[in-house]
Amino acid sequence: MADYLVRATSEDGGIRALAAVTTEMAEEARRRHDTSPTATAALGRTMTATALLGATLKDDQSITVRIIGDGPIGGIIADGDSTGRVRAYVKEPHADLPNNAQGKLDVGGVVGRDGYIHVTRDLGFGQPYTGSAPLVSGEIAEDVTNYLYVSEQVPSATALGVLVSREGTVQASGGYLLQLLPQADDDVKAELERNLGLLGAVSSAVDAGLTPEDILGRVLQGVPYHILETRPLRFECTCSQERVIGLVASLGADEVRSMLNEDQGAELRCHFCNKVYQVSADELQQVLERLEHPPA
Ligand SMILES: [Zn+2]
């Protein structure tokens, strides 16, 4: 099943609901970054959260989620746009920990419980807006729920799960996000709580073959709703040779000069996708000339 997301609303308008299957994008991120099992889970959960939080983005809008805790992973950065593109990396991809007391991957431990989640929305006009909240557990889903409450005052339920196989690959990944607006009535809230309990772990649901529509069907059982949108999701980076050269230019003339002196050209690695770019001595020379003699 290819990755995608569905967005729905209850008939009374009191519930916004999103569900996504992200197995392929989480596996692509694992493969590119060679992450440890625990880092794979942290990275996959963050990518799913980014897709869910970015589900209402329009053309030319983007979202960046940064989860910076005090754990050995050193931080997770993900961004996405309105086309369903998501890319992400962790600072220390090989950081790992033994399983926690429940026998599960210790995502909270590897991320750290002391730190912040920052969510930046660039709406394509004006300054990008960043909202932040302290981490609750480092398990990502609770941190997103708390962020939504603190920053947007919307009570939500978030579930994010990545099932890592014995071989260390991503076997299943997905999540859902429910937001309760003020007009949601109390009976519906009780119904939702019961449904969430029955669904169990979202990674197991995806592993069992449930689609995003199936997941919404389970969590919204008994609540009339309709689907507003279906959006394909994929891991894709926006880096290019041109952007890398722009990055080199942003380092300034002194830095470019020292790169030229040290050796013949430079090698740069994109943090987000791990692709390596070669910038030749000729290209460095051209950058330097533009910096020293900017066009009038
Ligand atoms: Zn890249």
State the distance from the centre of ligand 1 to the C-alpha of 28, rounded, in angstroms: 13
State the distance from the centre of ligand 1 to the C-alpha of 241, rounded, in angstroms: 10
Share of the chain above pLDDT 70, in %: 100
Q: Please determine, looking at this structure, whether the domain spanning 241-292 carries the CATH number 3.40.190.10.
A: no
Lowest mean pLDDT of 79-83, 107-111, 182-186, name the range: 182-186
Whole-angstrom distance, CA of residue 22 vs CA of residue 19? 10
Q: Is the pLDDT of residue 118 over 80?
A: yes
State the distance from the centre of ligand 1 to the C-alpha of 250, rounded, in angstroms: 17
Give the pLDDT of residue 18: 97
Mean pLDDT over 120-137 rounds to 94
Whole-angstrom distance, CA of residue 8 vs CA of residue 225? 7
Q: Is the pLDDT of residue 202 over 90?
A: yes
pLDDT classification of 29: cutoffs 50, 70, 90: very high
State the distance from the centre of ligand 1 to the C-alpha of 30, rounded, in angstroms: 14
DSSP string, 114-132: SEEEEEEEE-SSSSPEEEE
Beta bridge partners of 230: 6
Where are the domains positioned within the chain? 4-235, 241-292
Give the pLDDT of residue 184: 79
Phi and psi at 208, nearest 5°, equal: -80, 0
Q: Quickly name the fold that domain 4-235 has.
A: Hsp33 domain (3.55.30)
Strand boundaries in 52-167, DSSP class E: 62-69, 76-81, 85-90, 115-122, 129-134, 156-164
State the distance from the centre of ligand 1 to the C-alpha of 102, rounded, in angstroms: 36
State the distance from the centre of ligand 1 to the C-alpha of 179, rounded, in angstroms: 32
State the distance from the centre of ligand 1 to the C-alpha of 237, rounded, in angstroms: 5
State the distance from the centre of ligand 1 to the C-alpha of 145, rounded, in angstroms: 29
Mapped onto helix, strand or coil, the DSSP state of residue 295 is coil
Give the pLDDT of residue 105: 96
- Contact residues for 249 (Cβ-Cβ < 8 A; gap 6+): 256, 287, 290, 291
State the distance from the centre of ligand 1 to the C-alpha of 243, rounded, in angstroms: 10
Quickly count helices (H) and strands (E) in the chain. 10, 13
Q: 282 burial class (0-12, 13-18, 19+ CB within 10 angstroms)?
A: exposed
Buried b (16+ CB within 10 A) or exposed e, 151-166: beeeebbbbbbbbbee
State the distance from the centre of ligand 1 to the C-alpha of 238, rounded, in angstroms: 6
Mean pLDDT over 106-126 rounds to 95
pLDDT classification of 186: cutoffs 50, 70, 90: confident
State the distance from the centre of ligand 1 to the C-alpha of 257, rounded, in angstroms: 25
State the distance from the centre of ligand 1 to the C-alpha of 90, rounded, in angstroms: 13
Q: What is the pTM of this model?
A: 0.93
- Contact residues for 182 (Cβ-Cβ < 8 A; gap 6+): 14
State the distance from the centre of ligand 1 to the C-alpha of 1, rounded, in angstroms: 25
Q: For helices 37-53 and 23-33, what crossing angle results, to 10°?
A: 130
State the distance from the centre of ligand 1 to the C-alpha of 50, rounded, in angstroms: 17
Q: For helices 186-199 and 212-219, what crossing angle results, to 10°?
A: 130
Which residue's structure tokens are 């950065």?
77
Q: Is the pLDDT of residue 129 over 80?
A: yes
Mapped onto helix, strand or coil, the DSSP state of residue 275 is coil
Mean pLDDT over 186-207 rounds to 90
State the distance from the centre of ligand 1 to the C-alpha of 276, rounded, in angstroms: 9
State the distance from the centre of ligand 1 to the C-alpha of 277, rounded, in angstroms: 10
Which tokens in the block code for residue 188? 């519906």
Q: Is the pLDDT of residue 296 over 80?
A: no
Beta bridge partners of 80: 63, 86
Nearest CA-CA partner of 193 in 180, 182, 206: 180
CB 57 within 8 A of CB 79: no
Give the pLDDT of residue 266: 86
| Encoded amino acid at 120, one letter | T
Which tokens in the block code for residue 149? 């409450």
Give the pLDDT of residue 289: 93
Lowest mean pLDDT of 80-84, 173-177, 264-268, 280-284, name the range: 264-268
In tens, the pLDDT along 216-227 reads: 999 999 999 999
